[in-house]
Amino acid sequence: MGMVVGVLLCRPIAALESWSGNTITPALISMMLFFTFCRVDIRQMRPSRMHLWLLLFQLIGAVAAYYACMPFGQVMAQGAMVCVLAPIAMAAVVIGGMLGANIATMATYSLICNFVIAVFAPLMLHAYGNGDCTFGQIAMKIAPLLIMPFVAGQACRHLFRRLTQWISDHSQISFYMWLISLAIVIGRTTCFILDTDADSGVEIRLAAAALVICLIQFAVGRRLGRRYGDTVAGGQSLGQKNTVLAVWMAQQFLDPVSSVAPTAYIVWQNFVNSYQIYKKDREAAKNQI
């Protein structure tokens, strides 16, 4: 329903987001992360071998995706690369928590992954893109949305225990925040696709490549997660991407048309998320019966 609302009301949603200075979605993501990080004990956050394998897949897989799609043109190659290179989505920790993942495991990977991608992305965008990209440019897109909610959440845990308990008891609020942000992102995505001046055949191929990459990353992530005892954490960590950052990187440092791939990835990953949430709720309902 959230995705349908985003599609049908794409123009008003895009206008509202533009009027706000594109602050509504970041504000919702920050609040979602704050609610989630309030439930994370920093003492339980430890890097693991699973995190290492996930990072290696992202970095090596981004290069592999580029060369695998190069026979179809550079635009296809760049679109595929940025879909793999993009770091874990800020909301992935929230969705992972809904699906039963270990939040501390995902929070740890979120911090590590975003820092590592901020270091390596400029090198790859310089090598395979059209412009210069610096660590600072990407860090400024990531740090405020990730670090501030984390610090605020940990401060709340130690200074306002009653508020922290209330947040833990009402963690479902994060779902409704995600639902609103989903409608907004889908609305902006729809407008972008409608307004993009590109060959429809190229757009379809980019969207198809994004679908294949999305399914592969969720599958590989879940397989790695299963190996280390947390299937959901692995799947969400590798499959759910910071597509807003990916679209920005593609538009700024690659052929702008390549941004159709991460834009389509937004749709595909949220279909996967919606299906997983539906399946989780169905299993919970069966257990109650």
Asked if residue 3 is part of any domain, the answer here is no
> What range does the domain containing 149 cover?
22-281
Question: Does some domain include residue 232?
Answer: yes
Tell me if 206 sits within 8 A of 53, measured CB to CB: no
- Indicate which CATH number applies to the domain containing 276: 1.20.1530.20
Q: In the predicted model, what is the mean pLDDT of residues 258-271?
A: 88
pTM over 0.75: yes
Number of domains in the chain: 1
In a domain, 211, yes or no: yes
Q: Can you give the pLDDT at residue 225?
A: 93
pLDDT score of 198 more than 70 = no
229: left (phi over 0), alpha (psi -120 to 50) or beta: left
What are the Cα distances from residue 264, in Å, to 29, 107, 189? 20, 26, 8
In a domain, residue 9? The reply is: no
Is 237 part of any domain? yes
DSSP 175-220: HHHHHHHHHHHHHHHHHHHHH--S-HHHHHHHHHHHHHHHHHHHHH
Residue 29 lies in a domain: yes
13: in domain:
no
| Predicted local confidence at residue 289, as pLDDT | 62
Note whether residue 206 is domain-resident: yes
